[in-house]
Amino acid sequence: MTMVTGLTLPRWMRRTLLVTAALNAFGACMMAPPTGGALRLLAGLPEGEPLYMWIVAAFVLIFSAAYLAAGLAGRADTLFIAVGAAGKIAFSVLLGVYWIIPWIRWPRTVSVRSSSRSGPSSAPLPMAISPARRS
């Protein structure tokens, strides 16, 4: 009796899940505070609060074990595959967005025109997003 039920996976999907399990295990090591500092520095990822880094490492490691179980069993629920794919997509989009933000030329101030009120016709407002500038 297997622990994983669901669709029978083709060979390419089993291999993909096994590789994903290994990559997630490495990612969990990268996020765990005792081992991850140097690995995060090499990858260019920022430091974080230890509690939150442990929470992220735990989630990533749990998914690693689930990917390994599904890959070895050759069966997986479609919901599990969909949730895993959505997590990978979200991770990739967030990395891409935060990688490109420093290169976007944001306006320094925003002008607001007053209609018939007294006072200046435009007042500078601070930007909601103020990314670090690259020189």
Mean per-residue pLDDT over the chain, rounded: 80
Q: Long-range contacts made by residues 96-104, C-beta under 8 angstroms, separation at least 24?
A: 101/129, 101/131, 102/131, 102/132, 102/133, 102/134, 103/134, 104/131
Other beta carbons less than 10 A from residue 39's beta carbon: 15
Question: pLDDT tens-digit profile of 8-57?
Answer: 999 999 999 999 999 999 999 988 888 777 888 888 777 888 899 999 99
Question: pLDDT tens-digit profile of 73-120?
Answer: 999 998 999 999 999 999 999 888 888 888 877 666 655 555 555 544
| Predicted structure pTM score | 0.67
